[in-house]
A and B are shown apart, each in its own frame.
Chain A
Amino acid sequence: AQSVTQLDSHVSVSEGTPVLLRCNYSSSYSPSLFWYVQHPNKGLQLLLKYTSAATLVKGINGFEAEFKKSETSFHLTKPSAHMSDAAEYFCVVSDPRMLIFGKGTRLHILP
C-alpha cells in the first residue's frame, strides 16, 4: 500500500532563507509523487509532480523537489522564502484510483 509521511507539522523560516519541507513515501511500485500547496481557505494548487522522468523536478514559484529512491524521499525546497509562501504544503503519492495525502506541513515565514 502507498503512504506518505511528512516529517514536520510546522516549519518556520525567515524571509529570504532556504526552505526545506521533508517527505518520505512508501510504495510497492514506482510511484508518482506530487506536492500541493493550500493557502488559507483556498483549494489546492499543484506545485510540482514526479512521474519517473528526471529525479529533480522544478515546479512553480521557485520550488523544486528531488526524488531519491534509495532514501524513499521527495523533499521540497526553495532557495529563498517569500512571505507569500506561507501556507500548508501536502506531499502526495498516487494510487491507481486516488491520491494519498500526507498530513501536511504548515510553513511560517518570519519577517
Chain B
Amino acid sequence: NAGVMQNPRHLVRRRGQEARLRCSPMKGHSHVYWYRQLPEEGLKFMVYLQKENIIDESGMPKERFSAEFPKEGPSILRIQQVVRGDSAAYFCASSPTGESVGSPLHFGNGTRLTVT
C-alpha cells in the first residue's frame, strides 16, 4: 500500500512565478492536510480538505495561496507570484477520517520549494 505521494520532491522557482505542489493521499483516505515547515521551525497547519471541499483554511495566507482536492486526481497546493519567503518544505498528510483527535496523520516526504 503506497503511502502519501508528493511531487515534485524539489521545486525551484524564480520570484513572480507560480508553484504547483501535488499530493496523492493514501489509498482509501479522503481527507488531506497541507502543512508548511519553515527552516528551524515545526510544521504549521495550512489547510484541510475533503474531496471537492475546503474544510478549514485558517492557516492559509490570504493572498496568492490556494488549494484544491478535486473529485478525481491529486490535491494541489498552488502558490502564485512566489516570493523568497515562500521557500519552505510543504508537507501533505492524509487520514481516513476527518477527526485528527486520536488519529495520527500519514505524511508524505514533502516538496522543498526554493524561490530564487
Using a CB–CB cutoff of 8 Å, the interface residues on chain A facing chain B are 32, 34, 36, 41-46, 49, 51, 90, 94-104
Contact = CB atoms under 8 A, between A and B. Distances in A.
Contact of B56 (A34, A46, A97): A97
A43 B100 CA distance: 18
Contacts, number: 62
A98 B100 contact: yes
Contact of B109 (A42, A99, A101): A42
Contacts of B64: none
Contacts of B107: 36, 43-45
A98 B48 CA distance: 8
A72 B55 CA distance: 30
B40 to A, nearest CB: 8
Contact of A44 (B40, B41, B91, B99): B91
Q: Dominant SS at the B interface?
A: loop
Given A43-B108, A44-B91, 5 more contacts: A34-B104, A41-B109, A41-B112, A101-B35, A101-B43
B85 interface: no
Contact of B101 (A36, A45, A94): A94
B100 A97 contact: yes
21 contacts: A34-B104, A41-B112, A43-B108, A43-B109, A44-B43, A44-B107, A45-B107, A49-B104, A94-B103, A96-B99, A97-B56, A97-B98, A99-B33, A99-B35, A99-B105, A101-B35, A101-B44, A102-B42, A103-B42, A104-B40, A104-B41
